[in-house]
């Protein structure tokens, strides 16, 4: 079986032969048909959050079940499924309170990895998925059924980028009709935060980015205003879009520290900054706490849009079928697994919404 293996942080991925251990209790094996490339894969490949090498990254995938371990219920060989990084035990305090993305059960991506290189060496189960490969073995909590008529490349987008951006608005913020929002970053995740704001009935949706073409894309996806983040009067422009008040929510969908530090400048009293992007470990942002306190503002993190897979994915698929959720428009290019380094370099260049690896 082929997989893209990273042996050195920051190095190109190489296509190598691997084997997968058979699914253990509660696990499934899935033969992949598509895997989208997320910036988190690139950050992980570059060692932004530490980790172990060699590793197989990739976590935004879709395919069909080829093997089912003991104790798996509700799935059978041949079922089409999404494959995600969201691994949950269902029993810890976080899972018990419905916050499955914050599952507290530890998972050792090396000691418990199902991936073996040709010489028997263990490869890290990158981002708990290892989907830059022809097949994966994952926990049953990491998959969710999808319709037979949903194309796999489109389906793969729902595994991370869509739910992270859209869920930050609908789940984490719980934005209500009539709310005003600003989205910092109009890349793949930012466009989905914009879509979440549209679906939530937000009346003012301001997109901020450094690139004119991305701002044009933001308008295509439902933003009401598009503002260059480098404009000297960017704060005044954002506030002007809301009658001078500022926005109810700011969604930071990029990993740039400056974006986090300036996010509160756009807020109205009692407004909330929702942190979606994930900078490398060791980077810090600073704020003036007295202003946050005086204006009763909030800074809150959002991991994977606080998604509950079996609740949110069917709803998103229905929105797509009704024409209310853009998915096809998110795909910029399709590549084979052998072209993965080219796909990653194009993603790094920041010109693509989502590049997708399509398997034969």
Q: What's the pLDDT at 341?
A: 96
pTM above threshold 0.85: yes
Extents of the domains making up the chain: 2-158+327-358, 162-303
Q: What's the pLDDT at 95?
A: 97
- Local structure of residue 55 (DSSP, 8 states): E
Q: What's the pLDDT at 351?
A: 80
195-232: per-residue pLDDT in tens? 999 999 999 999 999 999 999 999 999 999 999 999 99
Residue 54: asked if its preceding bond is cis (omega within 30°), the reply is: yes
Please give, one letter per residue, the 3-state secondary structure of 78-132: CCEEEECCCCCCCCCHHHHCCCHHHCCCCCCCCCCCCEEECCCCECEEHHHCCCC
350 pLDDT above the threshold of 90: no
- Cβ contact 9:16 at 8 Å: no
74-110: per-residue pLDDT in tens? 999 999 999 999 999 999 999 999 999 999 999 999 9
CATH 3.90.180.10 fits 2-158+327-358, yes or no: yes
Taking the C-alpha atoms of residue 9 and residue 87, their distance in angstroms, rounded to an integer, is 25
- 9 exposure class (CB count in 10 Å sphere: 0-12, 13-18, 19+): middle
In CATH terms, the superfamily for domain 162-303 is NAD(P)-binding Rossmann-like Domain (3.40.50.720)
């Amino acid at each position: 079986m082929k997989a893209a293996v990273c042996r050195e942080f920051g190095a190109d991925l190489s296509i190598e032969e691997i084997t997968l251990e058979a699914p253990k209790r509660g696990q499934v094996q899935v033969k992949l048909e598509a895997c989208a490339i997320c910036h988190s894969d690139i950050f992980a490949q570059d060692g932004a959050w530490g980790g172990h090498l060699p590793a197989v990254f990739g976590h935004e995938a879709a395919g069909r079940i080829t093997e089912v371990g003991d104790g798996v219920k509700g799935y059978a060989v041949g079922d089409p499924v999404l494959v995600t990084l969201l691994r949950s035990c269902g029993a810890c305090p976080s899972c018990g309170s419905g916050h499955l993305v914050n599952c507290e059960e530890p998972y050792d991506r090396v000691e418990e990895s199902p991936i073996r290189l040709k010489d028997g060496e263990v490869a890290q189960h990158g981002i708990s998925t290892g989907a830059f490969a022809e097949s994966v073995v994952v926990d049953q909590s990491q998959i969710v059924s999808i319709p037979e008529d949903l194309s796999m490349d489109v389906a793969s987008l729902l595994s991370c980028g869509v739910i992270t951006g859209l869920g930050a608005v609908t789940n984490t913020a719980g934005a209500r009709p009539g709310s005003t929002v600003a989205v910092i970053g109009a890349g793949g995740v930012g466009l989905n935060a914009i879509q979440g704001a549209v679906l939530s009935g937000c009346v003012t949706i301001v997109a901020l980015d450094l690139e004119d073409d991305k701002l044009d894309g933001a308008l295509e996806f439902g933003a009401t205003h598009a503002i260059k983040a480098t404009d000297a009067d960017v704060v005044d422009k954002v506030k002007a879009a809301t009658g001078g008040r500022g926005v109810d929510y700011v969604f930071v969908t990029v990993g740039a520290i400056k974006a986090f530090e300036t996010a509160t400048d756009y807020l109205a009293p009692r407004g909330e900054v929702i942190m979606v992007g994930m900078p490398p470990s060791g980077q810090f942002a600073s704020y003036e706490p007295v202003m946050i306190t005086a204006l009763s503002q909030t800074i809150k993190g959002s991991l994977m849009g606080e998604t509950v897979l079996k609740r949110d994915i069917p709803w998103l698929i229905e929105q797509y079928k009704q024409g209310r959720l853009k998915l096809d428009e998110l795909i910029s290019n399709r590549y084979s697994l052998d072209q993965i380094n080219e796909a990653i370099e194009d993603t790094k260049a920041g010109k693509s919404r989502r590049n997708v690896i399509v398997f034969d």
